[in-house]
Amino acid sequence: MSNIRSWYLFLVSAISLQSVIWAAIRLLRGVLHPDLLSDFNSITVEIAVIIIGLPVFLWHWTRTRDSDRDLELDTDFDVDPGAMYFYSMLLGFFYPIVFNSIILLAAIFQLFLGFDSKLLQNNMTVSEAIISSGVALFILSSMVFYFYKQRFNLKKLDIASRTSFINLRRIFLFVLSLSGLLVTVYSVLSLSNWILLELFYKNTVTGLGSAASIILDDASRLLIGLVLWQLPWSRLQLFYESAYDGEQESPVRKIYLYSLIFVSSLVCVTTAATLFSSILGKWLGLQNDGEFYIVINVLSVFGVIWLYHAMVLHNDAKSSVNRYVEAKIVRIYRYLLSVIGLAILLVGLGGAIDVIIRLIWLEELGNALRSQIANVLSALFASAPLWLLSWTKIQKESRVNNEMAQVERQSVVRKAYLYFFLYNSTMTVLISGVIVLSEFLNIWMGDGSIDDLFDDFPYAIAYSFIALIVWLYHRAVLNEDKKSNSSAYTDSNLIQMRVVVFMPENSSFAVDLSSKLEFEFPTIEIEHTYDPKSLDNLTEVDVIIINTIDSNIVSKSSARKFVIMSSNSEQWYWIGMSHQSQSSQIRNCIHTLRQVLSGEEVKTPYKFNGCIVGVVVLIGIFLLFLFTMIFLVN
């Protein structure tokens, strides 16, 4: 936790320091090269910013040391403001460093090659670019060095903030690594697309000046992007392999890997479908506008990204000493591929049925329908193998008669997968039914025509039919899992388990808990009692559920003990633990009992804090850019 005063001081320090730094950069640029200044007024503005901003920063920055010793906690935000300030400022320095490094590297390349025209960004000459980027790199690099020195001082002064520093350092490194990967992918696509289109499609030779501008800019961006990607990533890999500061249990790493795998595999499948469509379109007599070469390039780049991060995930699973963790990593990966494959497969099937309907109705094969046939067949060819390979492995693991199959059937990701397609198929039928019925009502009321019905009717029928098949199939899988789980509980040796809810008989919480347990585990004996004699016959396979105030009564029992952190006394305070409602305690108790039955390691359900949610949002924005980038690179 932290207090509002600390956040205020660090926020003002951040804004004032950034203002002073960029004013100094612009002023020094103008002093060294007057052409980089727009007019004389800009000099006075920068001087004024430095004179006003520097005292503001120094006053607030010195007060942040006092806030470190301030014991007043008036917020529930579980992130240290000093750690947030440190890594936010570093990000604010690193991104301009990357941008200016690209400009400086391109200018150096042009200088060695003898180009002195205004080929750089903002129409700067080589000398202007070297001075402009060099000044920025010098000042920003100095600030990075200063901040790294301050980090160690802060850690010595505030030991309690170590956890925040570790978590935010991890996020900081992953953000840098992702940024470097994005820059690298963009540069590779831009450069290779230009080469392929110029040499193989347009069959033209670009002028030397224009070619140099494109190649040098992309080459500079590529080199900086590789460095920005590999330096933080190699450090993260070192942390993971050495199990440093809980890196192996980090949810940020899993989010990073699974997100990249999901996006890269999705791009690979869609671009593979586009490639097949281009080939089929050429076979059907359609014109190729050059996208064939672009698709091959995109497929190659994102295929490498997919393969590399899938190998990293595979190594993470193999290095795990816990077989449940290993199975969980592989399970999520397979379900991600299955979601992508089945989603694109369903779109292709819907388009195939729509084509059949239109062929019967129109009885002709125009260019538009030829293009649709090519797109439909390509979607089916690209997605069907991916879904079949991943889903058959999933089903094979879930149907084996062992403990891991039971864990597979009860996993959250499997239920999320099944209900995701149940929900989407239901919504598809609902929307399609509304469209068809509204068109019929328009015709019946004289406000529509048969031609209007034809525009939407084939799509509605096709997708409704497919949605019904999908719903029936996944519902059958759910029923099969339910029967298999029930059979596993019956055949298990744990069927002899007794669960004793050792709480007062007039406790409404105990009564509610007992009824929920009986409903969730009908084959297990659930007993609600407050008689200590009933505990004498319990064995090590049995379970006792107790309140903390009764823990001394059952301490000598050999049964496993589930302790409910609750007390009616206002004199009891649970330090470092948030209050839980009775419904949450019941859910956690059921979850723990399921873990015991399946042989899993007992762990509390993880809750995402605000910091993790922020990372997810940030990564989502980056991945959205990554996904749309392939359509912007020409």
CB contact set of 99 (below 8 Å; sequence gap of 6+)? none
The residue among 533 and 200 whose pLDDT is bigger is 533
**What is the rounded CA–CA span in Å between residue 436 and residue 440?**
6
Find the angle CA(4)-CA(10)-CA(15) to the nearest 5 degrees.
125
- Altogether, the residues listed in the chain come to a count of 634
Q: What are the structural domains of the chain?
A: 4-250 (no CATH), 266-492 (no CATH), 494-567+580-598 (3.40.50)
The residue among 202 and 308 whose pLDDT is bigger is 308
pLDDT for the residue numbered 567: 53
Q: How far is CA 197 from the centre of its chain?
A: 33
Q: Does 527 score more than 80 pLDDT? A: yes
Q: How confident is the model at residue 631 (pLDDT cuts 50, 70, 90)?
A: very low
Residue 340 identity: I
Beta-bridge mates of residue 562: 545
Q: Does 84 score more than 70 pLDDT? A: yes
Task: Give 193: exposed, middle or buried? Use CB within 10 Å, 0-12, 13-18, 19+.
Answer: buried
533-544, pLDDT tens digit by residue? Answer: 777 777 777 888
pLDDT for the residue numbered 277: 73
CB 155 within 8 A of CB 162: yes
Q: Does 623 score more than 60 pLDDT? A: no
Please tell me the number of Cα atoms within 13 Å of 567 on its side-chain side: 11
pLDDT for the residue numbered 177: 92
Q: Does 151 score more than 70 pLDDT? A: no
Token output for 202: 């347009």
371-387, pLDDT tens digit by residue? Answer: 667 777 777 888 888 89
Q: Does 181 score more than 90 pLDDT? A: yes
Q: Does 154 score more than 50 pLDDT? A: no
Q: Does 205 score more than 70 pLDDT? A: no
113-144, pLDDT tens digit by residue? Answer: 766 555 455 667 777 788 888 888 999 999 98
**What is the rounded CA–CA span in Å between residue 349 and residue 71?**
63
Stretch 256-269: mean pLDDT, rounded? 88
Find the angle CA(370)-CA(371)-CA(372) to the nearest 5 degrees.
90
Q: How confident is the model at residue 191 (pLDDT cuts 50, 70, 90)?
A: confident
Stretch 155-175: mean pLDDT, rounded? 73
CB 401 within 8 A of CB 422: no
Rg of the chain over Cα atoms, rounded to whole angstroms, equals 31
CB contact set of 596 (below 8 Å; sequence gap of 6+)? 494, 543, 560, 602
Stretch 481-500: mean pLDDT, rounded? 66
Lowest mean pLDDT across 62-71, 370-379, 429-438, 580-589: 62-71
Q: How far is CA 269 from the centre of its chain?
A: 19
Q: How confident is the model at residue 409 (pLDDT cuts 50, 70, 90)?
A: confident
pLDDT for the residue numbered 108: 83
The residue among 61 and 38 whose pLDDT is bigger is 61
**What is the rounded CA–CA span in Å between residue 453 and residue 440?**
7
pLDDT for the residue numbered 497: 76
Q: How far is CA 376 from the centre of its chain?
A: 30
Please tell me the number of Cα atoms within 13 Å of 57 on its side-chain side: 14
Kindly list the strands in the beta sheet with 560-564, ordered across the sheet, starting from the edge strand earlier in the chain.
525-529, 498-502, 543-547, 560-564
Q: How confident is the model at residue 305 (pLDDT cuts 50, 70, 90)?
A: very high
Lowest mean pLDDT across 25-34, 259-268, 612-621: 612-621
Q: Does 176 score more than 80 pLDDT? A: yes
Nearest CA to 462 out of 376, 383, 387 is that of: 376
The residue among 98 and 372 whose pLDDT is bigger is 98
Average pLDDT, the chain: 76
pLDDT for the residue numbered 368: 62
b/e code 486-517 from CB counts within 10 Å (16+ = b)? eebbeebebeebbbbbbbeeebebbeebbebb
Q: How confident is the model at residue 74 (pLDDT cuts 50, 70, 90)?
A: very low
Please tell me the number of Cα atoms within 13 Å of 145 on its side-chain side: 6
